[in-house]
């Protein structure tokens, strides 16, 4: 069983000074932060990270948005982390997200939805490796 997932506090989260609130929300849900950094994705970075969405109508704007400012990727650990984190953040469209999910509480809209969470264990492993070499993932 994989107990890790990749989260990203997206540019709108940092821009609106919600970083502390988002981290607090995540910790209060019982996730342990095993790695974290701040970086500004280039368009090429975003293109690689979101390669699965290439060709979709929202793809070009997604790349613009994700490279528009800094973001905070993190590795989170909890039992059944991928599913648990998706549940904690809510659906892609914040208006449809369940009550008290991170997106429902704080996201602006379908694109600027404040946070990313891996959607499968396989993708979690790939996405963690995209941002973090093994030595940057803490053992504690």
Q: How many CA atoms lie within 13 A of 83 on its CB side?
A: 4
The yes or no reply on residue 45 touching ligand UDP (CB under 6 A) is no
Site mask for ligand UDP (CB under 6 A), range 57-96, x = bound: -x---x-----------------------------x----
- Which residues are catalytically annotated? 116
Residue number, 19 or 111, with CB nearest to ligand UDP: 111
Report how many residues bind ligand UDP under the rule CB under 6 A.
9
- Smallest gap from Cβ 111 to ligand UDP, in A, equals 3
d(CA 34, CA 54): 30
What's the closest the beta carbon of residue 69 comes to Mg ion, in angstroms? Answer: 20
Determine, following the binding rule CB under 6 A, whether residue 111 of this chain makes contact with ligand UDP.
yes
Stretch that binds ligand UDP, among 14-22, 76-84, 109-117, 131-139 (CB under 6 A): 109-117
The binding site for Mg ion (CB under 5 A) comprises 119
**Cβ–Cβ < 8 Å for 22, 13:** yes
């Amino acid at each position: 069983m994989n107990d890790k997932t990749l989260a990203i506090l997206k540019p709108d989260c940092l821009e609106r000074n919600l970083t502390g609130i988002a981290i607090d929300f995540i910790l209060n849900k019982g996730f342990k932060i095993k790695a974290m950094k701040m970086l500004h994705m280039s368009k090429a970075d975003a293109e690689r990270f979101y390669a699965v969405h290439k060709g979709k109508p929202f793809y070009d704007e997604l790349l613009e948005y994700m490279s528009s400012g800094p973001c905070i990727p993190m590795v989170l650990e909890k039992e059944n982390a991928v599913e648990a984190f998706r549940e904690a953040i809510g659906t892609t469209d914040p208006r449809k997200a369940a009550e008290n999910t991170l997106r429902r509480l704080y996201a602006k809209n379908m694109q600027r939805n404040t946070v990313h969470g891996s959607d499968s264990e396989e993708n979690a492993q790939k996405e963690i490796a995209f941002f973090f070499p093994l030595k940057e993932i803490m053992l504690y």
